[in-house]
Amino acid sequence: MYNWFTSSVLYQGLIMHMGLAGSNIYLDFFYSALVEFPAALIIILTIDRIGRRFPWAASNLVAGAACLTSVFIPEDLQWLRVTAACLGRMGITMAYEMVCLVNAELYPTFIRNLGVLVCSSLCDIGGIITPFLVYRLTDVWHELPLVVFAVVGLVAGGLVLLLPETKGKALPETIDEAENMQR
């Protein structure tokens, strides 16, 4: 559930922060939107070969690391700031898409709809909170939202590693089967 929330906050937060920090807002948004295509391609190529857990964790960690790196890039290296922001957006796009896939695979059949609904609601709550995070924290320090996003992304990447791998496994029918997926 935490990963739905964090993916939503990071995805929308990076887009909003780019609007505040960009030099040429149109080109910066264009570049950051372009990275969604390779993100989808990487997911297609990795989820059936490597699995779900490691690409999902790696994408969260990349997003968090890119946010943290962006904090330390000087203003005069705008091209490098945009590159780091695009890398962060690519990472969180992959994580966001992985959440949609893995979320339904983790819950037992009889509560799957409820589980997906709760996680989707947390995603919506994350979307509601994000503008407040970005605009209020920017008033304190322009890079503070990126520090928060970095912490959230890095923690989410670590927590994903605690989840069971669902590649090639049958969907759980009972709570016992869902709890035993890790073994």
Any domain includes 82: yes
Classify residue 73: in a domain, yes or no.
yes
pLDDT digits (tens, 9 = 90+) for 150-180: 999 999 999 999 999 988 888 899 888 888 8
Residue 183 lies in a domain: no
pLDDT confidence of residue 179? 84
Cα–Cα separations (whole angstroms), residue 40 to 35, 96, 126: 9, 10, 22
User: If pLDDT is split at 50, 70 and 90, which confidence band does 113 have?
Assistant: very high
Which structural domain, as residue segments, surrounds residue 95? 2-178
Flag whether the pTM goes above 0.85.
yes
Q: Does 117 score more than 70 pLDDT?
A: yes
Indicate whether 126 belongs to any domain: yes
pLDDT score for 139 = 92
- The CATH number of the domain holding residue 123 is 1.20.1250.20
In one-letter notation, the amino acid at residue 171 is L
Number of domains composing the chain = 1
In a domain, 23, yes or no: yes
For every residue of the chain, which 3-state class applies, written as one string?
CHHHHHHHHHHHHHHHHHHHHCCCHHHHHHHHHHCHHHHHHHHHHHCCCCCCHHHHHHHHHHHHHHHHHHHHCCCCCHHHHHHHHHHHHHHHHHHHHHHHHHHHHHCCHHHHHHHHHHHHHHHHHHHHHHHHHHHHHHHHCCCHHHHHHHHHHHHHHHHHCCCCCCCCCCCCCCHHHHHHHHC
* pLDDT > 70? residue 73: yes
What pLDDT does 175 receive? Answer: 87
Question: 119-159, pLDDT tens digit by residue?
Answer: 889 989 999 999 999 999 999 999 999 999 999 999 999 99
Q: Dig out the tokens for 138 from the structure.
A: 């920017």
pLDDT of residue 18: 81
Tens-digit pLDDT profile for residues 1-59: 667 888 899 999 988 888 776 678 888 888 888 999 999 999 999 998 999 999 999 99
**Cβ neighbours of 106 (radius 10 Å):** 18
Tokens 């997003």: give the residue. 63
